[in-house]
Structure 1
């Protein structure tokens, strides 16, 4: 499209007052899409520095996250009507006030998050309209007052989080406890010092199942009335820190349904703690973190005697060696000993736990796998990550044959015995990432028949040997991103017939072979680089044959793999490819035929590839592409028409390109703002790099109207207007000059006539003589002696009677309107005179305006009608009126002057229809003529 055409289209859009939709070009938010095209729209407005709710939120959005902004209040009109909105998060703002009824248009809302704001009260109509709300999080505000009817509209509410507020007494929560479907209530870290059910004065039981009063300075926790018959969990962690907490539940039947207790860092005296644990008959899950003082005093003796206990969490306690008193907890199925700074598991302490299925030893200081683990034959999940393990031997997992998940990441394992995993026949997930392995030593050749996920990244293995993975025929996911890799032997991945996802870092040489992976769906390839991200070794193009067998490949990621643009035949054998990422490659010479073999491509990431143009998109077969990322390239000017070749595009990311902010990008700016299909992510954050005076400013802030002020375009418009004006002026002068002149004087006469009518002045003369100076002798010698001398008429002549110093046009007008008649003495000189022409034009206007016989035409010469044609008004008068001819009078001048007298004596009646010169009997033979039948 040419520059002029582009600007004309822009001008047309401005003239039509276009109001572009911002549904897809959001200033501070992005729309998150999932792979499912029918999925709900999720709006992400995190960290947008927003001071108010954006006005451009799409109407059909289902989730909006406005957390971590600067919003100070919610007005009634801010949220409007979002009929599909189910999730709304306003966390971590500065909201101090919400208008009543602000949520009335959110009938489908199920979750409302407003934690970490500055609310001080909950008014009666605050939550009006939220009848389907199930989760309300208003934790960490400054709420001191709750209206008795504040929760009246929340008939479906199940979870309420009110922790870390400023409620003064427990009775403030009474309206919440009356909710019919309430299950989870958090009220910890408020200002009341006691929780006593007798203060609630409820006559009905609550449906509450989870009660969280953690982080409170409670002095009394008392349940003495049966208002919580369904209560299952009590979290009383970090309570009573300033004084000892009193636990007052005299009737243990009130806790008959309690299955979980959280007592982390609780100031219950040791004896009280024992009583509490002895009073619960159905306890299944107990958390005791930061309770080492009581544990050292023998609390575990009481704990292990709870017959129903299945899960024990002792994390965040400090003891180098776990107490042997755990021996009596043989009934446990889950044990969490993470982050306890444990250096060794006391021999025999957990050996008796024959039912244990989950053991968490993460974040300790274990230098070897505890011996007791060998006897845990029922163990299914074992987490030994973030320890100091050095090696794995054949007996470490001797009897753990039911193990399905084993996490050994972030240790110091440098040695694997070949028989280390031979007994793990049911293992499905193995994580050995972030260790010090330099070789696998055949550890994967035995056992591991059911392994599906294997993580080996960030080790020091330099060679992937043939046969390393040949026994892993069931593995679906393999991560071998190894920084020190320098060789991949032929057929290194042989035997992995079910591999679907492969993340691998490859060395830069020609002996690369990852063929044979027929079921592979996702391939992520990295090449070794230096600290600056540059290739190590000699650059070359990756041979295309390595992808030939991957006919099921759906996702391919290549980061710093291709030195130059990939060969167009690279993906000839991967027709199912849907997601393609190529980064850190020089794509300045890009062949669009690369995409032709992959018509199903839906997602394309070409970030950091030195792209300078997007013309290749118009030549590619990308009809179903919906997600396109082109960030951090070298794009300066973008032709928006290239996106017409991507009919399914819904997501476009161009962040980090050095845009040029001038008229060359006007079309792209208009497209970003007005298109209603493609979301240009963070478009309002795109900055200008060129020209220098615009550097750092926002691309979409560029004033596109300023493009109309450049010199070239102004010259074009000016010259066009000048040519049109010249042609129009020439046309008017040649064809319409007399009509315009006549119209102008007609207008002046009209104005004068209006003034005269208002004044109603009498006529001063009988006739005004309109003649040319060349005919002045005839007027003075022939006309005046007869009309003034013999017949006695009062005549007005311009040489004699015009007022000196007065404008000529005014003298003419006054003369015509101050005389009863106007006699036009017509000759060829008369017709050529400008002033005579004006006189007859005004006289004719008076004739037709007043409908009176005020005009007498007297021809001194015979002038054919066709010679009157240039004098448009004269010709029309001659055709319609009888006139007098001096030449035809001949020797009968007396008859001629008699006819003139009769014309001057004619009445001025507007309804008179007789011939104004001859009377009822018709014209005299001499001196009278009509041109009714003549037509020039």
Structure 2
């Protein structure tokens, strides 16, 4: 039974959705919600276009026509949970479209009636009416489907005005109830009937009997009876022929065991097919019932149960036993022998259930939230028609025993043993499941990797979430029919392969310990169409980038993408969605990185080889090192003379093979006559005891100019190359114009070695003096040369002349040999 107690919610949601789709910009113009605003009156600023008005949970005590006359389009009005004491339907005269009116949970004592022809839902329940507030005008509300009423007394004549109405749901709230005339309810014409009795009063059982004769779906709340079972009015036998109810719900039942037995016998004989009893408390002592009556009851019940009746499903939820001197095995036997299709005993502290003595008609059993153990249904061969078995939150511990329990259930397709204490220690114990089992729920247990040794081979859906599984062992599980596997909330470190799951289509590994899922998952699991792998502590690395790339190629197979896929490590990327995480191809491709490094190495080797072979780079490095060391030693030995003082006009660099020209032509012509030039020559000015390199550097630094006598012999001299290098270094370090080139003999380009690239550059960019062969031109040559080295030295020539007389025999000899 599903009475339409939520029509208001449906109407609000439907109207909101409808108008939101049509006019989303003026949604508030059609829906006005003033609920829980401590209002004492209806607001005056409500839009005239309002369709849905919620004024519930306020302190409104009175209503007037002026408050609703300006709302001609009003369709839904909720005034429940206020302080209204009187109701005059005439205030809604101008609300012709009003179809839903809820005035429940107020203090209404009196009603002034008027026909509201469009009204479909009227709720006056949970008010303070003495008699049912059914006016003659109610009979003209032909569209009325839902009617909520409350009263302290009910008489047969109360329903006379609405006998002809085809109602869908009627709800009666009977607080402070004092009078009920038998068979009054039978005058109603409704499909669903709800009766809410006062919780602190003894229930009038004729209401139950009449209700079962009135509606197909009957719900009764608060069946309480504190008097002796002897005062309990037994149901009339003629009632069985009048019962219409096929679905009965009894909510909050507190009765003695003997009364429960009588009511159950009545229901079993009746056409009731679906019985639900919630919050059942049965009391004792059973010993108060005479033994012959108890035996009669139990005998009749057993005979009736074994013979069968109309009942198909029985649901008992939240059962509490307050009876004592009570053999529960008697009750278990009655339940086990029931000839019904579905039995649910939920939250009843039930420790055991007996196996039926003969082949049972049970197709569905639900014993959730009890205290059942591994002894349940062991060696039970009578549950051959059972298809669904739910054993959530009990005390099962052994997975093999659970498998043996099902081995004789030839029709079993679904088994739920979640929320237990199940373990499997991978011992030599074999598991034997029902071959028909296709869906198994083992979630929220204590199972580890060995569970894959004890699974039904024909399973299609397997739930293993919230266990202690760290991996799926390869080669142990051959579940070729498995289509859905749920491994969420375990301790997996990677995605499982599909070696034993060739038919797998859906895999859930959410909330595990997967840092870097395998990127080849979809290659090995070709039939998987959905992978739920979100909410794992992903480590954003190159391997994970392969997984992200896989998602793009998989075509949306990752469920929850991208919100559920977030980096956890490293710390600087924590909270970054995987779709926003990127690394370069070079950083992640080892082959590409190796090839790139190899190519760079080869390029570096080629450059070094080029520098060494063609540009003589090692020689330049060695010379630079020597020059640096010489400068350092000079500063350390004479810190007071760190800056050298010029002593010579020019330093002469030449090959020993050209020494005759230097001694016979160059030196005599520059040092003689007026304005003579002070020259620095290695034979005269190198200091004994110092290395040749130090002497060369000192002479170049003490000379204003450096004269290089160029010839084929020059480019063959190693020491000439040193001198040219150091002079060129001075040129750039001091930004001076200190080089003078004299071309003594033409030098063919091919004669100049590759390492003399500086000489080539100097000859290409700088003007040089060429020694003329004709004597007539030599005077001009000497004039130009003197002009090029013209400078006033800050030191005396005498000091220089004295120093020039010092010779370095060892240095000269080394220099000459080169």
State the TM-score, normalized to the length of structure 1: 0.55
Which residue number in structure 2 is paired with residue 380 of structure 1?
246
Give runs of aligned pairs for residues 765-780 of structure 1, distance below 5 A: 771-772=653-654, 779=662
Please state if 1:483 is matched with 2:367. no
What displacement does 1:388 show? 3.0
What displacement does 1:212 show? 0.6
Paired with 1:386 and 1:426, the residues of 2 have a C-alpha distance of: 24
CA spacing shift, 1:670–1:377, aligned 2, 3 Å = same
Please state if 1:361 is matched with 2:220. yes
CA spacing shift, 1:573–1:284, aligned 2, 3 Å = closer
| CA distances 1:689-731 after superposition (whole Å, capped 9, x unpaired) | x9xxx9xx997699x99xxxxxxxxxxx9xx999999979965
Paired with 2:605 and 2:54, the residues of 1 have a C-alpha distance of: 84
Q: Is the 8 A contact 1:770 1:823 kept in 2?
A: yes
Which residue number in structure 2 is paired with residue 307 of structure 1?
163
Q: Is the 8 A contact 2:389 2:414 kept in 1?
A: yes
Give runs of aligned pairs for residues 41-80 of structure 1, distance below 5 A: none
Which residue number in structure 1 is paired with residue 185 of structure 2?
329
Q: Is the 8 A contact 1:205 1:226 kept in 2?
A: no
Q: Is the 8 A contact 2:426 2:450 kept in 1?
A: no
Which residue number in structure 2 is paired with residue 404 of structure 1?
273
Q: Is the 8 A contact 1:571 1:594 kept in 2?
A: no
Q: Is the 8 A contact 2:224 2:253 kept in 1?
A: yes
Please state if 1:341 is matched with 2:199. yes
Which residue number in structure 2 is paired with residue 565 of structure 1?
450
Give runs of aligned pairs for residues 502-517 of structure 1, distance below 5 A: 502-503=390-391, 512-515=404-407, 517=409
Paired with 2:278 and 2:92, the residues of 1 have a C-alpha distance of: 50
Q: Is the 8 A contact 2:85 2:109 kept in 1?
A: yes
Please state if 1:598 is matched with 2:465. no
Give runs of aligned pairs for residues 814-853 of structure 1, distance below 5 A: 815=705, 824=710, 827=714, 829=717, 832-837=720-725, 839=727
What displacement does 1:362 show? 3.5
Paired with 2:281 and 2:122, the residues of 1 have a C-alpha distance of: 36
Paired with 1:246 and 1:421, the residues of 2 have a C-alpha distance of: 50
Paired with 1:262 and 1:810, the residues of 2 have a C-alpha distance of: 116
Q: Is the 8 A contact 1:212 1:235 kept in 2?
A: yes
CA spacing shift, 1:232–1:193, aligned 2, 3 Å = same
Q: Is the 8 A contact 1:507 1:527 kept in 2?
A: no
CA spacing shift, 1:811–1:573, aligned 2, 3 Å = same
Please state if 1:734 is matched with 2:612. yes
Give runs of aligned pairs for residues 54-453 of structure 1, distance below 5 A: 133=20, 153-154=25-26, 161-165=33-37, 170=42, 172=44, 174-175=46-47, 177-178=48-49, 182=51, 184-189=52-57, 194-200=62-68, 202=70, 205-206=72-73, 208-217=74-83, 223-224=90-91, 226-239=93-106, 252-253=114-115, 255-266=116-127, 274=133, 281-282=140-141, 285-288=146-149, 295=152, 302=158, 306-308=162-164, 310=167, 311-315=169-173, 317-319=175-177, 323-325=179-181, 327-332=183-188, 333=190, 334-338=192-196, 340-341=198-199, 344-346=202-204, 348-349=206-207, 351-352=209-210, 354-366=213-225, 371-372=234-235, 375=240, 377-389=243-255, 390=257, 391-392=260-261, 396-397=265-266, 401-412=270-281, 417-419=301-303, 421=305, 425-435=309-319, 437-438=328-329, 439-442=331-334, 445=337, 447-448=339-340, 451-452=341-342
Which residue number in structure 1 is paired with residue 434 of structure 2?
547
What displacement does 1:460 show? 3.2
Which residue number in structure 1 is paired with residue 355 of structure 2?
465
Structure 2: tracts of 5 or more residues without a match: 1-12, 287-296, 322-327, 553-557, 583-593, 625-648, 685-696, 786-818
Q: Is the 8 A contact 1:233 1:260 kept in 2?
A: yes
Which residue number in structure 2 is paired with residue 857 of structure 1?
743
What displacement does 1:358 show? 2.7
Which residue number in structure 1 is paired with residue 413 of structure 2?
521
What displacement does 1:384 show? 2.4
Paired with 1:171 and 1:593, the residues of 2 have a C-alpha distance of: 73
Q: Is the 8 A contact 2:671 2:678 kept in 1?
A: no
Which residue number in structure 2 is paired with residue 763 of structure 1?
none
| CA distances 1:812-852 after superposition (whole Å, capped 9, x unpaired) | 99858xxxx986576355753434345579999xxxxx9xx
1:211 match: secondary structure: strand
| CA distances 1:393-440 after superposition (whole Å, capped 9, x unpaired) | 597226753312101344356996324556874433211355465353
Paired with 1:217 and 1:810, the residues of 2 have a C-alpha distance of: 114
CA spacing shift, 1:185–1:312, aligned 2, 3 Å = same
Paired with 1:227 and 1:442, the residues of 2 have a C-alpha distance of: 61
Paired with 1:880 and 1:398, the residues of 2 have a C-alpha distance of: 121
CA spacing shift, 1:579–1:317, aligned 2, 3 Å = farther
CA spacing shift, 1:878–1:346, aligned 2, 3 Å = closer
| CA distances 1:498-547 after superposition (whole Å, capped 9, x unpaired) | x2455476685869342354543321236975xxx889xx9967643323
Q: Is the 8 A contact 2:480 2:500 kept in 1?
A: no
More helix by share: 2
Which residue number in structure 2 is paired with residue 147 of structure 1?
none
Q: Is the 8 A contact 1:568 1:591 kept in 2?
A: no
Paired with 1:898 and 1:543, the residues of 2 have a C-alpha distance of: 122
| CA distances 1:300-335 after superposition (whole Å, capped 9, x unpaired) | 96467543575442347355xx73236323223443
| CA distances 1:154-184 after superposition (whole Å, capped 9, x unpaired) | 4799765442236786464642x525xx4x4
| CA distances 1:274-309 after superposition (whole Å, capped 9, x unpaired) | 4867666435543346xxxx515x689646754357
Q: Is the 8 A contact 2:651 2:699 kept in 1?
A: no
What displacement does 1:360 show? 2.1
What displacement does 1:857 show? 1.0
2:464 match: secondary structure: strand
What displacement does 1:496 show? 0.9
Query: Which of 644, 652, 663 in structure 1 is aligned with 2:521?
Result: 644
What displacement does 1:555 show? 3.9
Q: Is the 8 A contact 2:741 2:768 kept in 1?
A: no
CA spacing shift, 1:522–1:616, aligned 2, 3 Å = same
Larger radius of gyration: 2
Paired with 1:528 and 1:854, the residues of 2 have a C-alpha distance of: 102
Paired with 1:299 and 1:455, the residues of 2 have a C-alpha distance of: 38
CA spacing shift, 1:833–1:602, aligned 2, 3 Å = same
Q: Is the 8 A contact 2:306 2:339 kept in 1?
A: yes
CA spacing shift, 1:666–1:159, aligned 2, 3 Å = same
Q: Is the 8 A contact 1:205 1:228 kept in 2?
A: yes
Structure 1: tracts of 5 or more residues without a match: 1-109, 114-129, 136-150, 706-716, 746-766, 801-806, 845-849, 887-893, 908-936
Paired with 1:544 and 1:186, the residues of 2 have a C-alpha distance of: 60
Give runs of aligned pairs for residues 672-711 of structure 1, distance below 5 A: 677=558, 679=560
Paired with 1:668 and 1:371, the residues of 2 have a C-alpha distance of: 76
Please state if 1:496 is matched with 2:496. no
Q: Is the 8 A contact 1:394 1:420 kept in 2?
A: no
Paired with 2:271 and 2:280, the residues of 1 have a C-alpha distance of: 23
Q: Is the 8 A contact 2:350 2:372 kept in 1?
A: yes
Query: Which of 442, 462, 476 in structure 2 is aligned with 1:579?
Result: 462
Paired with 2:521 and 2:709, the residues of 1 have a C-alpha distance of: 77
